[in-house]
Amino acid sequence: MKKVLIAFALALVASGAMAQDKVVRKARALKDEIQNLVALPQRDAKQEAELKAKLAECFEMIAPTFTSPETKKELANAWDIKANLHMYAFNPLLNDVIAKVPTDTAALAENIFASLDAIEECYKATQALGLKGEKDPYTLQNKLKVLQFRPYVAYCGQMFFQNQQHSKAVDAFKRWMKYPETYTILGTDAAALAEDESTPQMAYYTCLAAYFAKDYATLNEFIGKAREYTEEKDQVNQLYLTSIIEQGDTVTWLKAAKEVVIADPAANDGIAQNILAYYFNKGDFKGAQGLADEILTADAESRLGNYAKGLVFMNDHKYKEAIPFFVKATETDPTFSDAFYNAGVCWSNEGYEINESLSGKKMTTAQFNAAIQPVKDAYKAAEPFFLKVKELEPENTHKWATRLRTVYYILGDKAKEAEMAKLVGE
């Protein structure tokens, strides 16, 4: 009796598998009817309704197939049907995009992604079933579809980004980036896709969407490739560094920012200034000097490298050592007002310190006149730098007029001193 029951149970299993495979074949026939409707050049309202109804019927019919252990020989067939059904669903939406008609972006993306995933599952099923050559009617055609659909994935990402649906944009762009490894059906063609010339640009879009979505894990995953996108190099670097700061990792930011600056000092002036501000705010003059030296090693003509070196000496009260670096910065950039200003300040401070050193000393008039001359010489050397600031920033009166007033006071030019005093309202 037990043998009879076991045999009966096995027969039921076989019957169930045959029944499920029969459902798949029935779904294939229905899918072919749908394909005929899709192929019509034009469809009337009745045919549109029929197409919609048959799509829904076929989706419902085939749904249990993928979770049923009874599906055996027709599993690859089932996945191929599903891939085609989703393709039929997204094609009219894609046509709307081409025709610039308002489109359901979510539905378009959902069906494109579902079609691609079904194709991949179909391929895995063919491998499991050992289908090859003529016995595999799916892989060759489906592989071409996967290659064809990749631009659609990128387009979905762009549409989501434009609609400020940043998380969905991230998902789409990530799918594009991981295309070669996700869709194993591509086989040897995957390597070529992995080295696609547009990959750095797409990595940038992925990171940009991830930044707005605050998805730092994704941003960190793809920022390396994004930094190869040279056409938006400055924007990529800013994105890279800003995201590090927002993650609260100052140590990594400092290291990364220095690497960016040293790689191209001229193009990353603003980033270098941020690093200098960081060092000076912390009183880390050694760090500031190290940055200046590294920049000047990379580019001896760097306006910011020379300016930074000047600031380091200036903050250390080594005014004469600072002046040549400020001057060098102005030679590189004749519009660098702050460098002119600081050179003038250094000369003024040099004169002030000489003057302070004379305080309390007993001297004859002749000795005093001789001793005070270096003070006047220093302030006289400062004058052309402040005059240049006046030329570059005529509206910023207080910046240069106050300094020039002091210069003219020391030089004894009362007329010019009064002129400057009037400009600053004194």
Condensed to tens digits (0 to 9), the pLDDT of residues 338-359 reads 999 999 999 999 999 999 988 8
Nearest to 84 by CA among 149, 155, 26, 35: 35
Q: What is the pLDDT of residue 164?
A: 96
The per-residue pLDDT for range 135-146, each reduced to its tens digit, is 999 999 999 999
Q: How confident is the model at residue 13 (pLDDT cuts 50, 70, 90)?
A: very low
Provide mean pLDDT across the span 26-46.
88
- Residues 261 and 308 sit within 8 Å (Cβ to Cβ): no
DSSP 10-73: HHHHHHHHHHHHHHHHHHHHHHHHHHHHHT-SS--HHHHHHHHHHHHHHHHHHGGGGT-TT--T
Nearest to 305 by CA among 328, 282, 278, 323: 328
Looking at residue 268, the DSSP 8-state letter turns out to be: G
The per-residue pLDDT for range 215-248, each reduced to its tens digit, is 999 999 999 999 999 898 889 999 999 999 999 9
Q: What is the dihedral of CA 86, 91, 96, 99, to 10 degrees?
A: 160
Q: What is the pLDDT of residue 6?
A: 43
Instruction: Pull the structure tokens for residue 360.
Output: 């309390």
Q: How confident is the model at residue 19 (pLDDT cuts 50, 70, 90)?
A: low
Rounded to 5, what percent of the chain is helix, strand, coil? 80, 0, 20
Out of 35-44, 54-63, 220-229, which region has the weakest mean confidence (pLDDT)?
Answer: 35-44
| Rounded Cα distance, 280 and 144, in Å | 59
Q: How confident is the model at residue 96 (pLDDT cuts 50, 70, 90)?
A: confident
Q: How confident is the model at residue 17 (pLDDT cuts 50, 70, 90)?
A: very low
Between these two residues, 71 and 152, which has the higher pLDDT value? 152
Helix (H) or strand (E) holding 206: helix 199-212
Q: What is the dihedral of CA 85, 86, 87, 92, to 10 degrees?
A: 100
Q: Which of 35-44, 183-192, 260-269, 288-297 has the highest mean pLDDT?
A: 288-297
- 93-98 long-range contacts (CB < 8 A, ≥24 apart) are 94/152, 97/155, 97/159
pLDDT at 330 over 90: yes
| Rounded Cα distance, 212 and 170, in Å | 10
Between these two residues, 70 and 388, which has the higher pLDDT value? 388
